[in-house]
Amino acid sequence: EIDQLQMHYPLGSIWGSKQTLKAVDGISLHIRKGETLGLVGESGCGKSTVGQLTARLLEPTGGRLFYKGEDLQKLRSGRDNQLRKQIQYVFQDPYTSMNPKHIIAALLEEPLRIHRIGTRPERKAKVRDMLKQIGLNESYEFRYIHELSGGQRQRIGIARALMLQPEFLILDEPVSALDVSVQSQILNLLKDLQQQFSLTYLFISHDLNVVHYMSDRVAVMYLGKIVELADVNDLYTSPLHPYTRALVSAIPAKHRGQRQERIRLQGEIPSASATPSGCAFHTRCPFAVERCRRETPTLRLIRPGRRVSCHLHE
């Protein structure tokens, strides 16, 4: 449970006024056991920061995180250590997050060593077992990460995240660095592993097709805030927020409802250090009215399972 999570970075002042980068600006989300919640938005909208905060790789400037009811900021160190094992993060490119001087076996063994799990032979057996789970044979144990293809590298990234038998994975653009043909192999592997180990996923991506394929529910982010939250099929067949409508109308007809007009967004996503007043989307919204410049809409429940942040849907 993510409650009013916030990540603001002070930037110093320009012309005497203090600047703040609002990477994440009051986000609340409930992720259900066993589901995949997709988090989608353009690059720079803050979705990776949400992932890193959820994995506690970053300390938020506001808000709280709960795991099965436990407040993660109030844990004793033993319990904290246990829960850190339960929640793991998979990076876009494992190459940047793993030591290139270590062989694969050492990279996979490392989390077990850090948490003092098992004897040396037990750990070796676990590494071998995990390689099999992710579709690589024993010969990979002695290779280096730079000897592997992008897809194999991401398999190792996933394997490493699974070594501690977590319950919850945060997948940050896990296939964005891969060729399309390899993407589906990794996505299917993630689906298989989810089934096999009863995993819960927070799946972060800018790619609406990939998010559609993977997710049960989807949250759409714009400039540090969630603007819409819905079951995956509702979101793609009847997007309500103008931003979601624009994103969905830009993908091939396969996943979206018929008769949806193409909505073209004007301009680029504004900087998170200069968020527009009122509804932050008003500078690009084709439906914006005067009120949108003044009043910030809130993410409201408009029907069961459906939340939208837009004055048009009150």
For residue 242, the partner it binds in Mg ion, ligand SF4, none, with Cβ less than 5 to 8 A by kind, is ligand SF4
Beta strand 300-303 with 306-308: parallel, antiparallel or unpaired? antiparallel
237 neighbors 256 (Cβ within 8 angstroms): yes
The residue within the footprint of ligand SF4, chosen from 288, 301, 303, 307 (CB under 6 A), is: 288
For residue 285, the partner it binds in Mg ion, ligand SF4, none, with Cβ less than 5 to 8 A by kind, is ligand SF4
Beta strand 168-172 with 2-14: parallel, antiparallel or unpaired? unpaired
| Candidate ranges 111-119, 122-130, 263-271, 304-312; the one touching ligand SF4 (CB under 6 A) | 304-312
To ligand SF4, the closest distance from the beta carbon of 298 in angstroms equals 10
| Candidate ranges 12-20, 75-83, 84-92, 276-284; the one touching ligand SF4 (CB under 6 A) | 276-284
Alpha-carbon distances, residue 151 vs 32, 107, 145, 207 (angstroms): 28, 17, 11, 18
For the chain, the helix, strand and coil percentages under 3-state DSSP, each to the nearest 5: 40, 25, 40
Exposure letters 95-114 (e unless 16+ CB within 10 A, then b): beebeeeebbbbbbbbbbee
Alpha-carbon distances, residue 275 vs 23, 287, 300 (angstroms): 10, 18, 21
Nearer to ligand SF4, 163 or 292 (CB): 292
| Candidate ranges 52-60, 131-139, 255-263, 306-314; the one touching ligand SF4 (CB under 6 A) | 306-314
For residue 48, the partner it binds in Mg ion, ligand SF4, none, with Cβ less than 5 to 8 A by kind, is Mg ion
The residue within the footprint of ligand SF4, chosen from 242, 244, 269, 275 (CB under 6 A), is: 242
- Please, which residues have CB within 8 angstroms of residue 16's CB and are 6 or more apart in sequence? none
Beta bridge pairs of residue 204:
39, 172
To ligand SF4, the closest distance from the beta carbon of 287 in angstroms equals 4
Interface residue list for Mg ion (CB under 5 A): 48
229 binds ligand SF4 (CB under 6 A): no
The two tokens of residue 138 are: 């024993």
To ligand SF4, the closest distance from the beta carbon of 272 in angstroms equals 17
Query: Looking at beta carbons, which residue is closest to Mg ion?
Result: 48
Nearer to ligand SF4, 55 or 265 (CB): 265
